[in-house]
Amino acid sequence: MGKAGRYFALLGAIAGGVAGFYLLGPIAVFFRQGPLGLFESAGVIVFLAGIVSVLFFFVGPPVAVLVKKGVKWLENRMVRMALQDILVGVTGLIVGLIISNLITPSLSRIPIVGSVLPSIAMVLLGYIGIVVARSKKEDILAITPRPFRSMAKTLSGARKRNPAADGGFSSGKILDTSTIIDGRIADICRTGFIEGPVIIPNFVLEELRRIADSSDNMKRNKGRRGLNILNEMQKEAFVEVVMQDWDEDPDLDVDLRLLKMAKATGALIITTDYNLAKIAEFQEVGVLNINQLANALKPIVSAGEELAIHIIKEGKEPGQGVGYLEDGTMVVVEQAKKHVGEDITVIVTNCHTTPAGRMIFAKLKATGRDDEHA
């Protein structure tokens, strides 16, 4: 608790002292005594100040954290909510408050609980009004004037086209561990194609540190490379790099925490993990897949085009040879097994794009010598 606990203890002492001062009269009446003396009054004030101070010391910090999370959650929900939902919700809230005010006189006459029932009714009916109004949004909008519906639809459409207008991290990009280890994100940021802030969650940084401390030599090298890339991105400052604490759901898997964080903040996830990208798409979380970007930037190859290729190994099918273009694109060449280790010219027959990348199928270019043998 530390410093926060001390602040809350001081606040509790002040609150308890003030409460004790105002309760001196009722306390004297309760114990059927005359006015309390100076030492008795001071004792009551100090006693209440101490009790409330201790209570605030232990209860204050966790309550403050819960309140902060609640306010942040509400802020994120309100920021991401469509304009139509906000307007309909406010309408339902107003109707609920009007109904609660109409029944308040009757509730206040109930013995004992009559002083608190109006407040409870106001909160409860206000919430019910919001929920009912949002569930009947289409019906409510159907009876509103046409200009109002057109304006709300236009503004909502503009908001969807410009999610950065939401504020907060809605225009930010969250990096997952695979993206940091992959390393291409630094080059992409260097080109200026990605705008900040680039967000590194604390749990991703912790996973990267665990990988860097692994006993497996390959994992350890990957983790250290990822940490070096982060340091490089911070020093070069091509984009704003933000280390963000996210302590919710610590027992969940890193990928699930990434998805929940992106949903709550409205940020996009940058990844090279195919499975994470698919889950994010299924949960309607914005995702940028670096592998898809790399595939989109590869030169388009058309059927009939000639390529110079170095055959480095045999293919899966009999007689096939496999080579790679400079950008890493796999080229599968029919009847090229006998040319392993050679540079040959091939003709593209087909181009196939898969989730793992682009594959080119080709055949050997006919030569004069081949024609003679034929």
Asked if residue 15 lies in contact with residue 53, where contact means CB atoms within 8 angstroms, the answer is no
Question: Is the domain of 282 the same as that of 234?
Answer: yes
Question: Is the domain of 13 the same as that of 52?
Answer: yes
Using 50, 70 and 90 to split pLDDT, how confident is the model at 270? very high
Question: SS3 sequence, the chain?
Answer: CHHHHHHHHHHHHHHHHHHHHHCHHHHHHHCCCCCCCHHHHHHHHHHHHHHHHHHHHHHHHHHHHHHHHHHHHHHHHHHHCCHHHHHHHHHHHHHHHHHHHHHHHHHHCCCCHHHCHHHHHHHHHHHHHHHHHHHCHHHHHHCCCHHHHHHHHHHHHHHHHCHHHHCCCCCCEEECHHHHHHCHHHHHHHHCCCCCCEEEEHHHHHHHHHHHCCCCHHHHHHHHHHHHHHHHHHHHCCCCEEEECCCCCCCCCHHHHHHHHHHHHCCEEEECCHHHHHHHHHCCCCEEEHHHHHHHHCCCCCCCCEEEEEEEEECCCCCCEEEECCCCCEEEEECCHHHCCCEEEEEEEEEEEECCEEEEEEEECCCHHHHHHC
Q: Answer with the residue of higher pLDDT: 299 or 272.
A: 272
Question: Is the domain of 246 the same as that of 132?
Answer: no
pLDDT tens per residue, range 113-133: 777 888 898 999 999 998 898
pLDDT tens per residue, range 67-101: 888 887 777 677 666 677 788 888 899 999 999 99
What angle, rounded to 10 degrees, do the helices at 254-265 and 274-282 form?
Answer: 40
Question: Is the domain of 288 the same as that of 179?
Answer: yes
Question: Is the domain of 93 the same as that of 61?
Answer: no
| Per-residue confidence (pLDDT) for residue 168, from 0 to 100 | 44
| Per-residue confidence (pLDDT) for residue 373, from 0 to 100 | 44
pLDDT tens per residue, range 7-52: 778 888 888 888 877 777 776 666 656 566 666 777 778 888 888 8
Q: Which residue from 333, 283, 337, 281 is spatially nearest to 308, judged by alpha carbons?
A: 333
Residue finishing a domain among 161, 184, 200:
161
Q: Is the pTM of this model over 0.95?
A: no
The overall average pLDDT reported for the chain is 81
Residue finishing a domain among 161, 178, 204:
161
How big is the chain by its Cα radius of gyration, in Å? 33
pLDDT tens per residue, range 179-192: 999 988 888 888 88
Determine the structural domain holding residue 58 and report its residue range: 1-80
Using 50, 70 and 90 to split pLDDT, how confident is the model at 285? confident
Question: Is the domain of 222 the same as that of 285?
Answer: yes
Residue finishing a domain among 161, 193, 221:
161
Positive or negative, the Cα torsion across 129, 135, 139, 143? positive
- For residue 201, the Cα-to-chain-centroid distance in whole angstroms is 10
- For residue 363, the Cα-to-chain-centroid distance in whole angstroms is 47
Question: Is the domain of 172 the same as that of 291?
Answer: yes
CB atoms within 10 A of CB 264: 17
Q: Residue 231, by phi and psi: left (phi above 0), alpha (psi -120 to 50) or beta?
A: alpha
| Per-residue confidence (pLDDT) for residue 62, from 0 to 100 | 83
- Indicate which CATH number applies to the domain containing 362: 2.40.50.140
Report the number of distinct structural domains present in the chain.
Answer: 4
pLDDT tens per residue, range 130-149: 889 888 877 877 777 777 66
Least-confidence region, from 70-74, 165-169, 268-272, 322-326: 165-169
Q: Answer with the residue of higher pLDDT: 63 or 81.
A: 63
| Per-residue confidence (pLDDT) for residue 208, from 0 to 100 | 92
Q: Parallel, antiparallel, or unpaired for β 241-244 and 198-201?
A: parallel
| Per-residue confidence (pLDDT) for residue 204, from 0 to 100 | 92
- Indicate which CATH number applies to the domain containing 228: 3.40.50.1010
Question: Is the domain of 95 the same as that of 69?
Answer: no
Question: Is the domain of 117 the same as that of 6?
Answer: no
Q: How far apart are CA 214 and CA 225, in angstroms?
A: 13
| Per-residue confidence (pLDDT) for residue 171, from 0 to 100 | 65
Burial (CB count <10 Å: 0-12, 13-18, 19+), residue 317:
exposed
Question: Is the domain of 4 the same as that of 64?
Answer: yes
List all residues 6 or more positions away from 267 whose beta carbon is below 8 Å from its beta carbon: 169, 170, 171, 172, 173, 174, 199, 261, 286
Question: Is the domain of 363 the same as that of 269?
Answer: no
Q: State yes or no: pLDDT of 262 exceeds 70.
A: yes
Q: What percent of the chain lies above the pLDDT cut of 90?
A: 17
Q: What percent of the chain lies above the pLDDT cut of 70?
A: 83
| Per-residue confidence (pLDDT) for residue 203, from 0 to 100 | 92
pLDDT tens per residue, range 341-373: 889 999 999 887 766 667 889 999 876 444 444
Question: Is the domain of 6 the same as that of 42?
Answer: yes
| Per-residue confidence (pLDDT) for residue 165, from 0 to 100 | 43
